[in-house]
Structure 1
Amino acid sequence: MIIGYARVSTDDQSLDSQMDALSAAGAEKVFADRISGSSRTRPELDKMVDQLRNGDVVTVTKYDRLARSLKDLLEIVETIRERGAGFRSLAEDIDTTTPAGRLVFHVFASIAQFERERISERTREGLASARKRGRIGGRPPALSAVQKDEVRRMRDEEHRAIPAIARLFNVSERTVRRV
């Protein structure tokens, strides 16, 4: 069965053109969300994936209707594959039910993986370079050394409760516990 998925980001956008294209592509059932593609909780997408059967083909008009990032697209398509279904994007001419379509999709996946590894490598190099210059990355401490001493004194000598100390210094209870 060809199953369509359509998505627009806001309520004032129309799904009509996607619905028409999916219908023309033979979609027997279409699931549609009105939510940002960056949102990980999309009720209709989840419902569609739950109903997939072996041999179904999920079809979208453009792959960005399914996911905003290539990483998310790869994860969603892998979930579709695990359910025994294929994936097809009309605009990009990707169809994982054919050998050529799987090749194109795997080339995309390989490029995305390469880019993730390069980003990670550049991040490690940048952090190492900054450390050599004496810079330490990360967020600045929530409390100064003097404030930490005062937190300890309040807890040890005044026996104040952790939540009260956290409110007083405007930090989380976890920050107080770490001190």
Structure 2
Amino acid sequence: MEKYVGYIRTSTGRQILGLEEQRSRINQFIEANGDELVDIISEQETGKNNYRDKLNLAINLCTKFGYTLLFTKLDRLSREVEFLFTLRNKGVKLKCIELPELNTLTLGIFGTVAQFERESISIRTKNGLRELSKTKKLGTPSNLTLEAKKKGLEAIKKNRIENENWRLAKTYIEHFQMKNGYTSLTEISKELNLNGYRTRRGCSFSPEIVRRLIAQ
């Protein structure tokens, strides 16, 4: 029986539902696998800061007692390759619910992808704001109606989930092909579905969707 310390994180104090969702997924994972959950450590702190008090507490528990650090997504822990390798070199065992294939060998691959994604998002955001400012005066939240704010937040959440699903699936396919060589689209779609991956719209993968994803 594996003993886990769960770690959940959001960036701000307003994202309570995000913490509860992560907590629920960790509890479901433990129950499904019949393992032991020693504790769930919760934190609301930006992911850009790798020196978080609660994260350090979770890491210290794992190194001292040999527990495995359990989290839902890699970016809840960190998107910096250097920090992830620091944990590995400390001997911290890591388990990511959305990346069950994460291990010592694949840590560098997934960490590099996560860091690249974070850097790309930052660049795209800055470039977009720069271009937009050339043509119109940027608005502020105070100028928006409650309905507009609600629709904007819903759109942001929807796009984030859809893009995250797509990115995770593409990363899994790349790793799967590196490990197994070329396999059929049917086999890849079957593996994605078995491991809980979903399309942008939350649907199961078909060979045709896998073909489009690989072609991107």
Is the radius of gyration larger for structure 1 or structure 2? Answer: 1
Greater share of helix = 2
